[in-house]
Amino acid sequence: MDIEQQVEHRRIVVDGVVHHYVTAGAGRPLVLIHGFPQTWWQWREVMARLTDGFQLIVPDLRGLGGTPGPATGYDKHTLAADVRAIVEAECGDQPVLLCGHDMGAYVAFAYALDNRDSVGGVVLVDAPPPGTSFMDRLVTFPRVWHVAFHANVDVAHMLISGRERAYVRQFVMTRIYDVSAISEEDIDRYAAAYAAPGALRSGLELYRALPVDRELNLAALAEGGKLAMPVIAVASGMTAAPRDLDEMVDEIALNGEVVIVDRSGHWIPEEQPDRMAKVILDLAARSSSP
């Protein structure tokens, strides 16, 4: 099924910033949020499996989608407000389900913290939220060298700019299990998105904002307590640390679960779309109806 033939591309202006997103399907609102160095396109296979029963709302994060982003506003609670505005434009105040991967998981978590009464459940894919003990430890591991590198935005931009395709390909292929899941054409698409004016810097700013994300998340948890809606943390079987994941879920959720996806690297929505779709369907079954 060619998802490109089913989606509608839309744009919205939120506080002076132009955002691109796609929609497809009909039914219960489901928001899918991409990570770095990807775009809405990373959800193509999952979307194809969920158009029957879900109103899919799939944004590009600010600065991507063909319109340069502003210089500031890359903390994940601000990005969650961007997504919230898109959701309100599409389905009003209906409760939504959220699923985010990588940086998109951080946005989904912030959205859930800030909009507890309008979120039926959330899936966090291969990304422990800032403010959790696991994330505090993880950023010291050599295998996540890129977090500190990307956060040094000016240097990272200088070294990657003009080499976007080579960098995106290396970044993807060193974190993948099934190399057939992301084609050279997919790499072309992602590289072109980040080579657009301002896009690479916007993507890197997501990392510079992580210390702010940590403080905002901790403050929101201290004020509102753990999330009460169902929370599923999905992790790659290549790198999963079950004890750390259990601890992480316990820190942020009253009704949490860990799912480890075997035979997948970091790019679970593309490497294991059937499994990813099933996790979302399981979340929908566990969460309250809209």
**Residues labelled as active-site residues:** 102, 207, 266
Query: What's the burial of 157, exposed, middle or buried (CB within 10 Å: 0-12/13-18/19+)?
Result: middle
Using CA atoms, how far apart are residues 238 and 215, in angstroms rounded to an integer? 29
Please list, in sequence order, all residues whose beta carbon lies within 8 angstroms of the beta carbon of residue 145, skipping any fewer than 6 positions away.
Answer: none
Strands 52-59 and 17-24: antiparallel
Using CA atoms, how far apart are residues 47 and 222, in angstroms rounded to an integer? 35
- Compute CA distances 208 → 3, 104, 116, 269, whole Å: 33, 15, 26, 25
| Tokens matching residue 105 | 């998981």
Nearest partner of 89 among 31, 173, 176, 5, judged by Cα:
31
Do residues 283 and 123 touch, judged by C-beta distance below 8 A?
yes
H or E segment and range at residue 93: none
Amino acid in the structure at residue 267: W
Using CA atoms, how far apart are residues 163 and 130, in angstroms rounded to an integer? 29
